[in-house]
A and B are shown apart, each in its own frame.
Chain A
């Protein structure tokens, strides 16, 4: 169950930004930290709200809804009200397309 799925073009998510995509029916948020792409499940572990409207500062994604913070590289929770990580997915850029591995 480890399928690589194309989710976006490499240019769709420029450095410092977040992008909401779907992969295999799951909502996923892409984060571009200085040219490196990371993918997290697009649901805050605190109240299940989407993360893609949040703030990206360095490698920290702050949920706009209640202020929980996550490390985009690992999905680890960095601040209350979140106490659990969000799922993180492997990401690869192949010939201008962004793929993530689901499952």
Chain B
């Protein structure tokens, strides 16, 4: 054996030179942050199934890092007519918005924001623009408080190699009545994309944010890695929605952390319908009394899709609430993993925390694994969790069929009803209809 140690996850495309190339021309603090992240990446072993959080997702079989090249960062013209059809269709379904941001293959190609909001100081722009115009804000939050590289191998990789992303800042007291919409399109097979989202809501402000990622089927494995940092300061309200409708071949990796301060509300909804492999890490931190987080999730799998949701509800401060509901239906030989933990830290009295995961198996080859965990270090709390796995409720089916519906339509209705519970808890302009339509289309393709 030679004395050389191979470093896990370093490839022809993913290496220290690539990090330097990304860092070129950036301010020194950011270059240093990237280099630090890269060192953490090198020092962190590749997660294996022996690691609790990766127990059910075997990366040696699911992810071939060596086959990936870095996505091109060339910016396409801002011409909606020339956008890929799938992207145009998705955007056409959206209703009114406070502003838009469109990314194609990781590069921001379009940004707009309503004038009145812009005048009130709301910032919606690409992360690179934010670096130029508001470096102090980016410096303060990016890859520090929310998703630092020390969180894990892929968090480190993202912090070292991100190419661009979204920056949303809502000043004190400003309230947006309709959502900010971000739409991402992926078209380059075999590429790896690294993007970051940073949302800061100042005290008593309010915003809802919908981020949709789509692609056609990709004929080679394609990685989309995103790090999402959402911060709600005292009394602010944020709704964060991520809708994933990537094609087969995609490996979707989304690593999110939400920081909710005193009396703030920070709700999230993760909808996963597409991609071959979809992994979401969501850590909700309740940092001030009165903070509240509703955490919703919905997934529908078929073929050999693999979903892995890894959530945590960290009650650092007392007198805060969190309520998680993740529901999924699985057809074909698809598989879903839900691993969630409620952590009530010492002294976090008067915590109310709940967690529910429900799975519907629609096929005899589908599989669901559920690990709802509790770690409670304070006694004056209300905590509970529940998990169920079952098949379609024959009684409801029978009822619908007795009313003259053919079995297939009855099944579709029962599945939509089952998943619909999640959507009805976050009524946000257009999201419910859009996701319902996408699920219905997926269900229809089975019969």
Contacts and interface: CB of A to CB of B under 8 A. Distances in A.
Contacts of A27: 60-61
8 contacts: A25-B61, A26-B61, A27-B60, A27-B61, A48-B49, A48-B58, A49-B49, A49-B50
Nearest to A48: B49
Interface of B: 49-50, 58, 60-61
A16 to B, nearest CB: 24
Contacts, number: 8
Nearest to A43: B58
List of 5 A-B pairs having minimum Cβ-Cβ separation, nearest first? A48-B49, A25-B61, A48-B58, A27-B61, A27-B60
Q: Interface of chain A, helix or strand or loop or mixed?
A: loop
Interface string A8-44: 0000000000000000011100000000000000000
Contacts of A25: 61
Contacts of A26: 61
A27 B60 CA distance: 9
B189 to A, nearest CB: 17
A96 B52 CA distance: 42
Nearest to B49: A48
A8 to B, nearest CB: 18
Contacts of A49: 49-50
Contacts of B49: 48-49
B269 to A, nearest CB: 31
A34 B419 CA distance: 56
A25 B61 CA distance: 7
Contacts of A48: 49, 58
A70 to B, nearest CB: 19
A46 to B, nearest CB: 13
Contacts of B50: 49
A27 B61 CA distance: 8
A49 B48 CA distance: 10
A40 to B, nearest CB: 16
Contacts of B60: 27
B392 to A, nearest CB: 26
A27 B50 CA distance: 16
Nearest to B58: A48
Given A48-B49, A49-B50, 6 more contacts: A25-B61, A26-B61, A27-B60, A27-B61, A48-B58, A49-B49
B426 to A, nearest CB: 35
B51 to A, nearest CB: 13
Nearest to A25: B61
B64 to A, nearest CB: 8
A49 B50 CA distance: 8
A48 B61 CA distance: 12
Nearest to B50: A49
A48 B49 CA distance: 8
Contacts of B61: 25-27
B162 to A, nearest CB: 29
A49 B56 CA distance: 11
B256 to A, nearest CB: 27
A26 B61 CA distance: 7
Contacts of B58: 48
B46 to A, nearest CB: 15
A25 B58 CA distance: 12
Interface string A46-90: 001100000000000000000000000000000000000000000
A26 B58 CA distance: 12
A49 B49 CA distance: 8
A4 B50 CA distance: 31
A94 to B, nearest CB: 27
A1 to B, nearest CB: 13
A27 B59 CA distance: 12
